[in-house]
Structure 1
């Protein structure tokens, strides 16, 4: 919800008219379910170092599988990434948005979606972003990204095993040299949260998303059984989201979910998030896994290159994307 001149609203009582959504697209916050949230899964006893002898407890795999089948989202705690590093990362992102003057900040922006790092609705121009005298977060970001990549590999193994597949099945299917992308979002306090959204309804196009969010501020909501469910904040947790590549092609042929989600605003507090995306390379051929196909479960989608999916995703910009349907076999 960035404006051209500031990350703050020009008025403390109202929001600009261009941010006000039509009635049918507003969040209707009073209708959001407060009775349930997405599962929280404890990884305390799982090292996930890739050793074949390191077999996760069957109850952990059941929890992972259930969360993927029923929600497409879950949170993890005791994940092994130092809380101090996470706090430094989030502080650096907040500083990036709040401390750099708007005119100076513009030099970092590009709308090229091939860039690896995204700041709100713009992608960082890598040449400008390498200027460490202007942006101080790159060292800590490098440490953070390394930790997140290792965590993603652990999760990929667990998700594969949850489907009864070989530990490295998903990683092989995603292909060689997957990319790790970062999207940072800044949501300022909003005087009229009922009238707008911080981030429109969408699904993620990648394989796996690991999200870190500001302590104590809720904002993420996911669809469950046709209702919006608020994702409760859990201390030092990451929100895990299955992208479309896992949901309908690479892994489960429709067994696991990639669900629509959105971000709402908060009247009193700003919210900062950092999403890290594990993404196939553009040449990877995506297709349903043979072990999950039989006469009762025929393939639901055709084979395609990931570049095709990306192109379709960005072709549908500005809409409530229905990208996977473009690759679905017609009944």
Structure 2
């Protein structure tokens, strides 16, 4: 626990998150900002990855660079699809989280993480290849739908910032994690948060008489 707590917050919730009364089965590590190689090396230093474990740093750096570039490419393609000439996510911080769910026989049927929407713009999730539990809310029916593991895939969803920026064209997705079996479940997420300084507002092209600003 002493070593885990060295993974300190840069912003609230960006470092180590211990189990809580609300989410007793969950804990996770974080890196802010994953677009910075220095931040990745600092994380490895915090958790005492020794020089003999250089593969850990190399893997984290390669993975973070690849998924960060994917996020930037998605941002560019979103703008192109809406007829906007802009590099949407340029300069935005991206938070990286490694999530662990300690599911036990006693916890089957309970919640791993409460119902929520992500606060950022975009989430790219590498889900556990074998242990399910992720569910998304169907807004029309009010029912939760299981998102079964699909090995080799990444799952992408919008958060609150995307709904605000797009003036309601993008939908923030309510989701949760349920304990389906007694097993350790691991997922890795990148969160494109939002601009560091500027306010989030819809581009003028997305606001008109028929779609006034939310």
Relative to the length of structure 1, the TM-score reads 0.51
Aligned to 1:199: 113
Alignment CA distance shift 1:116-1:187 (3 Å): closer
How well do the aligned residues superpose, as a CA RMSD in angstroms? 2.7
Partners of 1:135 and 1:199 lie apart in 2 by 35
The answer to whether the 8 A contact 1:207-1:278 is kept is yes
Q: 133-142 vs 278-287, which deviates more?
A: 133-142
Aligned to 1:165: 83
Partner residue of 2:175 out of 251, 261, 267: 261
**Aligned with 1:206: secondary structure?**
coil
Structure with more strand by fraction: 2
Aligned to 2:103: 189
Alignment CA distance shift 1:281-1:126 (3 Å): farther
Q: CA deviation at 1:121?
A: 5.3
Aligned length: 191
Aligned to 2:157: 241
Partners of 1:123 and 1:150 lie apart in 2 by 19
Provide runs of 4+ in structure 1 moved above 6 Å: none
**Aligned with 1:153: secondary structure?**
helix
Partners of 1:212 and 1:167 lie apart in 2 by 29
Partners of 2:52 and 2:181 lie apart in 1 by 29
Larger radius of gyration between Structure 1 and Structure 2: 1
The answer to whether the 8 A contact 1:242-1:257 is kept is yes
The answer to whether the 8 A contact 1:118-1:182 is kept is no
Relative to the length of structure 2, the TM-score reads 0.76
Partners of 1:194 and 1:132 lie apart in 2 by 33
2:6 pairs with 1:108? yes
Question: Structure 2: which 5+ runs fail to align?
Answer: 18-26, 32-41
Partners of 1:277 and 1:219 lie apart in 2 by 20
Partners of 1:135 and 1:233 lie apart in 2 by 33
Partners of 1:114 and 1:294 lie apart in 2 by 36
The answer to whether the 8 A contact 1:207-1:245 is kept is yes
Question: Structure 1: which 5+ runs fail to align?
Answer: 1-102, 301-331
Partners of 2:28 and 2:52 lie apart in 1 by 18
Q: CA deviation at 1:170?
A: 2.8
Aligned to 1:148: 67
Aligned to 2:38: none
Q: CA deviation at 1:245?
A: 1.2
Q: Deviations over 1:111-154 (max 9, x none)?
A: 66357555535657859526331894332111100000111122
Aligned to 1:305: none
Q: CA deviation at 1:243?
A: 1.6
